[in-house]
Amino acid sequence: MRKISPEAVRDDFRQQLQDLAAFHQTGFAAFTTEADQSTQTERSLLAAAVSWEGFVSDMFIAYINRDATRFKQHLTQSFNDHLDTAAKPRRVFDSFGKLDFPKHLKKADVQALADNVGNNITFPNYAELERRAGIWLIPAHAAKFSGLTAQQKAVIDSVIALRNHIAHRSQRSLDAMNNTLAAGALYPTGIQRGPNRFHMVGAWLKARPVGSPNTRFDLVMRILDSVAATF
């Protein structure tokens, strides 16, 4: 069976980012009002966040497809933990059962086993992504995620928080976004928010931090690309 290429997943994501950045600049220049430009920037950030989610899901699947050793260990442990809660199924399995995995798990298999309805593999924050990588992936592959800098991880958390607030517009998502964007690790990146909370996401993203020639949206896109390049 032909394996999924992590390098192809990486290159596809980087191309998506490049295409999205170009599309954003074209659309931004075409709009003549601040409101329309803010909306365009919000939608572009949302698209980037969705692309990131797809990249993570596809990279997990590619890594597991390449070497499923740790994922099979995780599945076996989960299976045994479940059997340990019921004495009779445990006795039946110990007497007659056998858990046997194919050498390579297909994409559909990984999706179905990672998520019971077969959705993309997604995580609410980077800490959970990193924790799950340590459980599901062999050390060399998990290290690709754990090896990012504190600044890169904080930017990814910021993208998730921004995406959630753009999508939900709730008080909870607003508070989470502002809290996430106040993280100290963001200071060197140029996208740490100031002392005042904000709620106009598009206006904030299209603004340039003090001393920077780039907008916050542009900075986010460049950092996402630098993250992808490490894979």
Q: Is 95 a residue whose pLDDT tops 90?
A: no
Q: What is the pLDDT of residue 140?
A: 98
Q: CB-based contacts of 153: which residues, under 8 Å, 6+ apart? A: 126, 130, 185
Top-confidence residue, 73 or 119 = 73
Q: Is residue 146 part of a domain?
A: yes
Q: Is residue 93 part of a domain?
A: no
Region at 108 (left for phi over 0; alpha for psi -120 to 50; beta for the rest)? alpha
Which tokens in the block code for residue 95? 């007497």
- In the chain, the amino acid numbered 117 is V
Which tokens in the block code for residue 80? 């045994």
Do 26 and 14 form a contact (C-beta atoms < 8 A)?
no
Q: Is 1 a residue whose pLDDT tops 60?
A: no
Residues 50, 23: Cα–Cα separation, whole Å: 15
Q: Is residue 61 part of a domain?
A: yes
Number of domains, the chain: 1
Do 132 and 166 form a contact (C-beta atoms < 8 A)?
no
Q: Is residue 136 part of a domain?
A: yes
Top-confidence residue, 159 or 112 = 159
Least Cα distance to 139 among 86, 67, 188, 90 occurs for 67
Do 227 and 152 form a contact (C-beta atoms < 8 A)?
yes
**Span 155-168, pLDDT tens digits:** 999 999 999 999 99
Q: Is residue 138 part of a domain?
A: yes
Q: What is the pLDDT of residue 28?
A: 96
Q: Is residue 12 part of a domain?
A: yes
Percent of the chain beyond pLDDT 70? 94
**What's the average model confidence in pLDDT over 124-133?**
97
Q: Is residue 58 part of a domain?
A: yes
Q: Where do the H-state alpha helices sit in 67-86?
A: 69-83
Q: What is the pLDDT of residue 118?
A: 67
Tell me the Cα Rg of the chain.
21
The length of the chain is 231
Residue span of the structural domain in which 195 resides: 6-68+104-229
**Mean pLDDT estimate for the chain:** 92
Do 53 and 81 form a contact (C-beta atoms < 8 A)?
no
Q: Is residue 14 part of a domain?
A: yes
**What's the average model confidence in pLDDT over 122-136?**
97
Least Cα distance to 111 among 102, 103, 120 occurs for 120
Q: Is 92 a residue whose pLDDT tops 90?
A: no
Q: What is the pLDDT of residue 84?
A: 73
Q: Is 16 a residue whose pLDDT tops 60?
A: yes
Q: What is the pLDDT of residue 64?
A: 94
